[in-house]
């Protein structure tokens, strides 16, 4: 039976359907507008910055008196023979519950319970999220619930979206187990500080070790630089002036004290060590690189570099043909204030190891000219590369066309890096560094 489109009942039904449709569309639009408004308000609050320079104290070019009270600290047992540090590299938390982040936090939960580290160090990119504030809260609460001491350095993604470094620094102050300080207000970066380790009670005579935490920045402040240029910021000269002041202050308290430095973006010496290692294995390297490599000793080099090699079009000023997938600091065109970070480290005769993250599929480690250089093992399951199903490992799933494999060709896993520092008088400062894959804690 054909519908009578002119009947009153038909017209009434059509009218009701239109009302329902418009009500549904209006509701959807209303929800979108409310969410946009809420997100906008939250972002406005979380992106706030003070109008004046801010920090814990003024460095004043080194004129400020060094004082241990300026820095957070950790007390370990007076009879402790080693300091156990867990490096947490690139969790890149997105949303927290009901996502891949659950796998990341499950890994960290099992690792912390098994290792019982004295302190965890997050070497940047704790988050990569449009909900940065909530992601930080999620992680901070996780560590607080476990009563696990930890510290943090900024990566290139941590304050990229809805949170300023100021908001993050203020948040971290609220947590008892987070040993963090914003650092000087008058140098580049935020979160340049020491975590001093004391054997027994905190006193000058018990200073035994120090963790030097540095902000390696985000991206060069140039409107012509985009994310896909693969060029990154760098530690500035005033930061290294602060570093010299800090380690000299430590040595004034304990002349034999040693330290390790933690930051996010690697320095160029990581690439130098990689190429020297390739030469030692008899592998060929670009001639323009071989000509520029320093004449230094490397030893105990292990791990792999599996980031995508730079395309010739991506080899920018300062790379000198360094095409390996090591995306180090200050490789942008026109950099004129790039300090020789490694020289400062060597001359300090205090910092004996450097640890970074940033390049997720690199875990190269070894001694370069007497200083230990180490990539932390990426722990984030919400970032590249994904390893959920070995049967779908393709260049569309991985960030690069080569599978991330170890030196024997075995597929690698997400995990953490354990750093053990001897505190005994017989071999003080000796390092034992091992990657612990997810399956290690099952």
Whether the per-residue pLDDT at 38 is higher than 90: the answer is: no
The Cα 247–Cα 189 span in angstroms is 18
Report angle CA 220, 223, 227 to the nearest 5 degrees.
60
φ, ψ for residue 421 (rounded to 5)?
A: -110, 125
The string of pLDDT tens digits covering residues 227-246 is: 556 778 899 999 999 999 99
User: Which pLDDT score, from 0 to 100, does residue 76 have?
Assistant: 98
**22 conformational bin, left if phi > 0, alpha if psi -120 to 50, beta if neither:** alpha
Question: What is the rounded distance in angstroms from the CA atom of residue 109 to the CA atom of residue 142?
Answer: 9
The per-residue pLDDT for 229 is 65
Inform me whether the pLDDT recorded for 125 exceeds 80.
yes
Q: Is the dihedral of CA 91, 93, 96, 97 positive or negative?
A: negative
Tokens representing residue 402 in the block: 């080569």
Judge: domain 64-441, CATH 3.60.21.10.
yes
Asked if residue 45 has pLDDT above 70, the reply is no
- Nearest 5°: the CA angle 48, 50, 54 is 125
The mean pLDDT of the chain is 88
**What single DSSP character describes residue 376?**
P
Distance CA 112, CA 121 (A): 12
Asked if the model's pLDDT at residue 226 lies above 80, the reply is no
How confident is the model over 167-193, as a mean pLDDT? 97
Q: Report phi then psi at 42, rounded to 5.
A: -60, -45
pLDDT of residue 395: 45
User: Measuring CA to CA, which residue among 378, 384, 383 is closest to residue 363?
Assistant: 378
Query: Could you tell me if 121 and 89 are in contact, meaning their C-beta atoms sit under 8 angstroms apart?
Result: no
- The separation between CA 344 and the C-alpha centre of its own chain, rounded to angstroms, equals 22
435 DSSP 8-state letter: E
CB atoms within 10 A of CB 230: 19
Among 323, 232, 318, which residue's Cα sits nearest to residue 271? 323
DSSP string over 163-229: --HHHHHHHHTT-TTB-----BSSSSSS--EEEEEEESSSSGGGEEEEEEE----SS-S-TT--GGG
What is the average per-residue pLDDT within 378-395? 67
Express each pLDDT in 186-212 by its tens digit: 999 999 999 999 999 999 999 999 999
* pLDDT value at 317 more than 70: no
pLDDT per residue over 240-296, tens digit each?
999 999 999 999 999 999 999 999 999 999 999 999 999 999 999 999 899 999 999
Distances in Å between the Cα of 164 and the Cα atoms of 131, 177, 306 are: 12, 22, 32
Locate the domains of the chain by residue range.
14-45, 64-441
Residue 345's pLDDT is what? 97
Q: Is the Cβ–Cβ distance between 93 and 129 less than 8 Å?
A: yes
Query: What is the Cα–Cα distance from 240 to 246, expressed in whole angstroms?
Result: 9
Instruction: For residue 65, report the phi and psi dihedrals to the nearest 5 degrees.
Output: -70, 130
Q: Say how far apart CA 319 and CA 336 lie, in whole Å.
A: 14
pLDDT at 52 exceeding the cut of 90? no
DSSP 360: T
Is it the case that residue 303 has pLDDT exceeding 80? yes
Whole-Å CA distances, 343 to 207, 216, 275, 340, 371: 25, 16, 19, 5, 11
Cα–Cα distances in angstroms (integers) from residue 374 to residues 288, 301, 352, in the given order: 25, 10, 11
Cα of first residue to Cα of last residue in the chain, in angstroms, is 68
Buried b vs exposed e over 101-126: b needs ≥16 C-beta within 10 Å?
bebbbebbebbbeebebbbbbbbbbb
Q: Return all residues near 374 (Cβ < 8 A) that are at least 6 apart.
A: 87, 353, 354, 355, 356, 364, 365, 366, 417, 419, 433
Burial class (CB in 10 A: 0-12, 13-18, 19+), 206: middle
Cβ-based burial of 439 (10 A; exposed 0-12, middle 13-18, buried ≥19): exposed
Q: Specify the DSSP element, H or E, that contains 29.
A: helix 8-46
CA–CA gap between residue 392 and residue 129 (Å, rounded) = 26
The pTM for the full model equals 0.89
pLDDT at 387 over 60: no
Helix axes 132-145, 101-115, angle to 10 degrees: 30
d(CA 322, CA 277): 14
pLDDT value of position 330: 82
């Amino acid at each position: 039976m054909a519908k009578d489109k002119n009947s009153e009942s038909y017209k009434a039904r059509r009218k009701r359907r239109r009302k329902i449709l418009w009500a549904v569309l209006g509701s959807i639009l209303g929800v979108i507008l409310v969410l946009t408004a809420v997100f906008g308000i939250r972002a406005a609050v979380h992106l706030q910055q003070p109008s004046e320079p801010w920090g814990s104290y003024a460095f004043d070019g080194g004129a400020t008196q060094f004082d241990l009270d300026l820095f957070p600290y950790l007390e370990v047992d007076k009879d402790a023979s080693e300091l156990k540090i867990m490096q947490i590299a690139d969790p890149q938390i997105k949303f927290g519950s009901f996502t891949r982040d659950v796998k990341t936090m499950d890994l960290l939960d099992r690792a912390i319970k098994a290792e019982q580290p004295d302190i965890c160090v997050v070497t940047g990119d704790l988050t990569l999220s449009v909900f940065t504030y909530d992601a930080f809260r999620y992680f901070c609460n996780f560590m607080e619930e476990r009563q696990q001491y930890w510290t943090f350095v900024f990566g290139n993604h941590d304050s990229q979206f809805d949170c300023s470094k100021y908001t993050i620094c203020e948040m971290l102050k609220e947590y008892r187990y987070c040993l963090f300080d914003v650092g000087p207000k008058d140098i580049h970066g935020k979160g340049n500080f020491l975590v001093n380790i004391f054997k027994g009670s905190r006193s000058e005579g018990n200073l035994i070790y120090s963790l030097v935490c540095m902000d390696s920045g985000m991206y060069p402040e140039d409107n012509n630089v985009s994310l896909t240029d693969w060029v990154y910021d760098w530690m500035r000269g005033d930061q290294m002036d602060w570093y010299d002041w800090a380690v000299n202050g430590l040595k004034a308290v304990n002349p034999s004290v040693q330290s390790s430095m933690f930051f996010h973006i690697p320095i160029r010496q990581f690439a130098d060590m990689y190429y020297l290692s390739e030469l030692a294995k008899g592998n060929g390297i670009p001639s323009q690189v071989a000509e520029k490599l320093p004449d230094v000793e490397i030893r105990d080099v292990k791990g792999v570099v599996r980031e995508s090699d730079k395309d010739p079009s991506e080899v920018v000023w300062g790379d000198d043909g360094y095409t390996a997938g090591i995306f180090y600091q200050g490789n942008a065109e026109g950099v004129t204030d790039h300090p020789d970070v490694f020289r400062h480290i060597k001359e300090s005769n205090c910092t004996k190891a450097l640890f970074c993250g940033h390049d997720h599929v690199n875990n190269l480690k070894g001694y370069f000219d007497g200083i230990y250089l180490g990539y932390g093992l990426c722990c984030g399951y919400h970032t590249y590369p994904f390893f959920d199903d070995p049967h779908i490992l393709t260049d569309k799933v991985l960030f690069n066309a080569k599978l991330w494999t170890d030196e024997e060709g075995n597929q690698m896993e997400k995990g953490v890096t354990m750093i053990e520092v001897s505190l005994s008088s017989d071999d003080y400062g000796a390092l034992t560094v091992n990657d612990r894959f997810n399956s290690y804690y099952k």
